[in-house]
Amino acid sequence: MSERVKFLKTLRREVVPGRVPTFELEFYLTMEALGRVHPSHRRFGQWNQMSPRERNLHLQDQAEVLVAFARKYNHSAIHVNCNPGGPENLIRVLSHIREISGDSFALLVYCDPTFSMPSGENMTEFSLRMYEDGEALKNEAQLRVLFDINRMEQIAAVPNLCDGVVMCSDYCFNTNPFFNRDMYAEYIAPYLKQAVDACRDMGLATIKHTDGNINPIIDMLVESGADALHSIDPQGGVDLAQVSRDWGDKIAICGNVNCALLQTGSQEECEADIRRSLRDGMTRGAGYVFCTSNCAYTGLPLERYELMNQIWLNEGIYQ
């Protein structure tokens, strides 16, 4: 059974023997791990001056980087970004990955039309719009859904290319959601559900990501119908064991090694937390994808990620 098949079965909460699947929402440590610049860290100010051949070579190189780290760390799936973006370039990168790796990996792309919690710069403005101009905001939310569905239809139309989407709009602080339940029900839930349903109709799996304390709205996240929930953030007070007990029969779970401990914790703390995540996630025997509680972000010590990966290789095996 290929890693691609194992990953997709896991998202459907089917029992998959052997090692628990793993992937990362992003793996930005490619310079340290491979001596290669991550696609998101590249600049192409003269892209429009390049010949079609030169552009294609750049996209092929990005595909090679994505495959290289997935192979190095035995990932089951790749979240595929390209630079510059857009459906045409993304389809080319996905195609290059399939040419390089065949059906080895489940290939995921970004799709989340829903509003994220606003930044500090526009938080007041966004909050006022919810109270003073709610209908216009909902019209905007609907247009965002239609735009993303159109984009995904272009990608899904190419056979055997894309397997699923990751939906990365963040809704929560570490202390609580930015959107209370009423706000979430009005401005997020209907549009997330539309996007999930549309992706499912295209044959695509869906992984919903949001950091922070999702506890007050986790039932509403599950009701979206997404196949999996990422990242079960321990820094937001979200307990993987409890989420698995309460919701593991309805949604697959991706997470949740504590990134803060990987960054600044002791070796002993890191090892204990990695094993905790494996133990709590594997309890049901299905429906669990092992990964960090965010991503392998720039500045995370590579040796800590490799420690995590090695413990998973040795111990993340269903008996």
Tens digits of residue pLDDT in 263-289: 999 999 999 999 999 999 999 999 999
Integer angstrom CA distances of residue 18 from 4, 7, 257, 312, 315? 14, 12, 20, 12, 10
Q: What pLDDT shows up at residue 281?
A: 98
Strand partners, 231: 255
| SS3 category, 112 | coil
Give the total number of structural domains in the chain.
1
Give 51-84 pLDDT, tens digit per residue: 999 999 999 999 999 999 999 999 999 999 999 9
Interval 174-188 mean pLDDT: 97
Q: Is the per-residue pLDDT at 240 higher than 90?
A: yes
Residue 228 is predicted with a pLDDT of 98
**55 part of a folded domain:** yes
So what's the pLDDT on residue 276?
98
**158 confidence band (pLDDT: 50, 70, 90):** very high
Mean pLDDT of 29-37: 98
Average pLDDT over residues 23-35: 98
Q: Which H or E run contains 240?
A: helix 240-247
Report the mean per-residue pLDDT for the chain. Answer: 97
**pTM of the prediction?**
0.97
Q: What is the DSSP string of 185-224?
A: HHHTHHHHHHHHHHHHHTT-EEEEE--S--GGGHHHHHTT
- Within a domain: residue 212? yes
Task: Identify whether 227 is part of a domain.
Answer: yes
Predicted confidence band at 319 (pLDDT cuts at 50, 70, 90)?
confident
| CATH for 154 | 3.20.20.210
Give the per-residue pLDDT at 260.
Answer: 96
Tens digits of residue pLDDT in 12-21: 999 999 999 9
Strand partners, 177: 172
**Does residue 138 lie in a domain region?**
no
pLDDT of residue 120: 87
Task: Report how far residue 319's alpha carbon sits from residue 285's, in angstroms, rounded to the nearest whole number.
Answer: 9
- Reported as a pLDDT band with limits 50, 70 and 90, residue 161 is very high
Whether 135 is covered by a domain: the verdict is: no
Query: Does 137 map to a domain?
Result: no
Strands 228-231 and 205-209: parallel
Residue 215, domain extent: 3-115+145-315
pLDDT (tens digit per residue) in 103-144: 999 999 999 999 999 998 999 999 999 999 999 999 999 999
Q: Phi and psi for 103 in degrees, rounded to 5? A: -100, 25
* Phi (first) and psi of residue 236, to 5 degrees: -95, 10
